[in-house]
């Protein structure tokens, strides 16, 4: 009996690593078959200094191209400020290659960004949850298994990720990711910012993987007289 107890104590530290390895391999298998998705999305931004939380809600479409690049279109439809009822908040966010656009129909304006210089950060943060392979996480993050939790209405495994890239670490010191135990894809991510207490929380629900997606779903429908703005210039 004593020997059995000692064996359990000795092997206990190895179990989390073994479980993590299994999780990452399951994520590899899931990522291999990922072509795209559509889902409901909620993006939360919390600023600790003024204790303000806002939530943007909408619908997201994502597709992976043959060259492994990712196209994304989000139609935000409403916003919640704290505990107040939601109110209409219609605008679009498009990311294709190294070009990002934010279109606000109400003021007939589209902001255009060249993200080529921050492509690594964009890939690792904004697009991290879409078809993420376990080996990619191993290469780019220090990973800690944090156990099992309910998130986005699913049973998940929670991971803590610390970027290995000094550039990314200077902007995002730590991330948390909740991986569904049924699909092995992330359903929620939390990004901690440099300012203590500030974070962004991205949650995806009603996910449909590999749906039929049309080119028109990734192209902004801009009127001819739309005002184009390049904030970077």
C-alpha distances (whole Å) from 41 to each of 24, 33, 76, 185, 204 are: 24, 22, 8, 15, 5
Is residue 56, in this structure, part of any structural domain at all? yes
| pTM of the complete model | 0.86
Number of independent structural domains in the chain? 1
* Residue 1 lies inside a defined structural domain of this protein: no
The two structure tokens encoding residue 38 = 């559509």
Q: Which two tokens stand for residue 167?
A: 């550039």
**What pLDDT, on a 0 to 100 scale, did the predictor assign at position 5?**
37
Mean pLDDT of 153-180: 94
Flag whether pLDDT at 8 surpasses 50.
Answer: no
Residue 223 lies in a domain: yes
What per-residue confidence (pLDDT) applies to 183? 95
Q: 198 in a domain, yes or no?
A: yes
Phi then psi for residue 16, to 5 deg, are -60, -40
Look at 42 and 84; give whichever has higher pLDDT: 42
Query: Which residue segment(s) compose the domain that 180 sits in?
Result: 18-229
User: Is pLDDT at 55 greater than 80 in this prediction?
Assistant: yes
What are the pLDDT digits (tens) for 183-204?
999 999 999 999 989 999 999 9
* CA pair distance 100, 121, nearest whole angstrom: 13
Task: Place 176 in a pLDDT band, splitting at 50, 70 and 90.
Answer: very high
2 belongs to a structural domain: no
pLDDT in tens, 87-134: 999 999 999 988 899 999 999 999 999 887 776 666 666 667 788 899
CB 106 within 8 A of CB 88: no
Q: What is the CATH number of the domain that holds 33?
A: 2.50.20.10
Whether residue 13 is contained in a domain is answered as no
The answer as to whether 224 is a domain residue is: yes
Alpha helices in the chain (DSSP H): 2-11, 14-32, 119-125, 134-140, 166-169
- pLDDT tens figures, 10-51: 433 433 455 899 999 999 999 999 999 999 999 999 999 999
Domain assignment present for residue 180? The answer is yes
What percent of the chain is predicted at pLDDT more than 90? 71
Largest CA distance in the chain: 80
Residue 221 has pLDDT above 60, yes or no: yes
The confidence score (pLDDT) of residue 11 equals 39
The mean of the pLDDT values for the chain is 87
């Amino acid at each position: 009996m004593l020997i059995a107890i000692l064996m359990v104590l000795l092997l206990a530290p190895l179990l989390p690593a073994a479980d993590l390895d299994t999780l990452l391999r399951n994520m590899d298998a899931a990522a291999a078959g990922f072509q795209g998705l559509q889902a409901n999305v909620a993006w939360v931004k919390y600023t600790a200094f003024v204790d303000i939380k806002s939530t943007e809600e909408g619908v997201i479409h994502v597709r992976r191209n043959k060259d492994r690049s990712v196209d994304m279109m989000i139609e935000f439809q409403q916003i919640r400020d704290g505990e107040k009822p939601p109110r209409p908040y219609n605008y679009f966010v498009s990311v294709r290659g190294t070009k990002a656009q934010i279109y606000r129909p109400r003021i007939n304006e589209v902001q255009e960004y060249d993200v080529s210089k921050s492509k690594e950060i964009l890939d690792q943060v904004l697009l991290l949850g879409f078809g993420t392979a376990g080996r990619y996480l191993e290469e780019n993050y220090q990973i800690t298994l944090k156990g099992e939790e309910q998130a986005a209405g699913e049973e998940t495994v929670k991971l803590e990720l610390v970027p290995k890239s000094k550039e990314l670490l200077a902007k995002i010191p730590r991330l948390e990711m909740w991986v569904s135990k049924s699909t092995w894809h992330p359903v929620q991510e939390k990004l901690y910012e440099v300012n203590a207490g500030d974070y962004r929380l991205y949650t995806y629900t009603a996910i449909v993987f590999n749906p039929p997606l049309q080119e028109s779903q990734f192209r902004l429908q801009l009127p001819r007289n739309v005002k184009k703005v390049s904030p970077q210039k």
